[in-house]
């Protein structure tokens, strides 16, 4: 990795902290209209049912982790929320924080997917360029490097993800954790109502992963997004999320016929000892459903 004077590394990142508002209480969330409401009845790929009945709400400033074994429909659910897959039965409602515009969804993938020829701030601003209306058919469209001055919020985002000193760096100069922080800032630049995280920490080492978990909690509270995380890792889920929903195929019906449904719904405790028991309980639940599926 190339060196760059003044870069804030992953080790230095957690020495600072943005001032985030306190998390809303459970009562406040239960009485407020949810930012995201999911009520899927079924999703099929041909004759195969991938998802059965899956229903839960996500409020502003709340993080929901969706956990499950490979093939249980976690990423399929995320694609449905993002509007990338509309071939399913049921309903998904997103209520915009601003009633005068359409809802906005931000997505962070497992890989940062940065443009290697653009700087950190240009990669973040790229989403703004993509969202601009297309020119008339008789006009010539040119694509230039984004200018961060088009949206002063980019400065705030760089500060929020601890990358203000790396704004002029290219992706090849960044560590894996720094690159993923750029991806998070890029997903936030249009002020999304819903933030979707598709296993964004799975390729990172354990220390960087823990730091980004803390950062994600700060960002969700600070920007008041409704955040949905897809993960395979029970420890990551209980550390990060306010609520964990576990997807699994029915232990009584053929997997292809019924599709995955919610088999466990957990609100993690703040007590570390309880978190350990919750992780073990999730692992036992996943193991039970996996064994039942192979009987």
Per-residue pLDDT reduced to its tens digit, 110-151: 999 999 999 999 999 988 876 555 445 444 433 444 444 445
* Nearest-angstrom CA–CA distance, 163 and 124: 11
- The span from the CA of 181 to the CA of 184, in Å, is 5
SS3 291: helix
Higher pLDDT, 237 or 4: 237
Distances (CA, A) of 93 to 34, 154, 219, 235, 259: 9, 28, 23, 29, 22
Reported as type and span, the H/E element at residue 211 is: helix 206-223
CA distance 15 to 126: 29
**How big, in percent rounded to 5, are the helix, strand and coil portions of the chain?**
40, 20, 40
pLDDT at position 70 is 84
Which helix or strand (DSSP H or E) is residue 78 part of?
Answer: helix 74-82
This prediction's pTM = 0.81
Percent of the chain having pLDDT more than 70?
Answer: 77
Mean predicted confidence (pLDDT) in 189-206: 91
Query: Mean pLDDT across the chain, nearest whole number?
Result: 81
Beta-carbon contacts of 144 under 8 Å, excluding residues fewer than 6 positions away, are none
Q: How far apart are CA 193 and CA 145, in angstroms?
A: 26
Element (H, E) at 150: none
List CB contacts of 124: < 8 A, sequence separation 6 or more: 148, 154, 157, 158, 182, 185, 186, 189
State yes or no: pLDDT of 13 exceeds 60. no
Whether residue 17 contacts residue 215, with contact meaning beta carbons closer than 8 Å, is answered with no
Return the structure tokens found at 286: 């996943």
Mean pLDDT across 6-19: 49
How confident is residue 8, by pLDDT bands cut at 50, 70 and 90? low
């Amino acid at each position: 990795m190339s060196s760059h004077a003044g870069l804030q590394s992953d080790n230095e990142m957690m020495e600072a902290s943005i001032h985030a508002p306190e998390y809303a209480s459970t009562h406040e969330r239960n009485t407020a209209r949810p930012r995201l409401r999911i009520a899927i009845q079924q999703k099929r790929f041909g004759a195969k049912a991938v998802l059965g009945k899956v229903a839960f709400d996500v409020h502003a400033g709340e993080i929901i982790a969706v956990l499950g074994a490979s093939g249980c429909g976690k990423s399929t659910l995320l694609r449905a929320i993002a509007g990338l897959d509309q071939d399913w039965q049921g309903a998904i409602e997103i209520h915009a924080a601003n009633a005068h515009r359409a809802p906005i969804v931000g997505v962070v993938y497992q890989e940062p997917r940065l443009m290697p020829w653009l700087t950190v701030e240009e990669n973040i601003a790229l989403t703004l360029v993509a969202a601009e209306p297309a020119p008339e058919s008789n006009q010539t469209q040119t694509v230039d490097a984004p200018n961060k001055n088009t949206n002063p919020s980019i400065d705030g985002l760089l500060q929020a993800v601890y990358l203000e000193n790396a704004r002029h760096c290219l992706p090849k100069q960044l560590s894996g954790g720094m690159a993923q922080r750029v991806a998070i800032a890029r997903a936030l630049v249009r002020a999304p109502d819903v933030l979707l995280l598709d296993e964004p920490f799975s390729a990172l080492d354990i220390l960087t992963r823990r730091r980004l978990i803390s950062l994600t909690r700060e960002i969700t509270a600070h920007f008041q997004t409704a955040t949905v995380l897809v993960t395979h890792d029970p420890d990551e889920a209980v550390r990060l999320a306010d609520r964990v929903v576990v997807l699994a195929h029915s232990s009584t019906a053929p997997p292809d016929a019924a599709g995955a449904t919610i088999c466990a719904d957990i609100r993690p405790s703040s007590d570390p000892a309880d978190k350990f028991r919750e992780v073990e309980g999730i692992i036992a639940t996943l193991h039970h459903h996996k064994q039942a599926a192979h009987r």
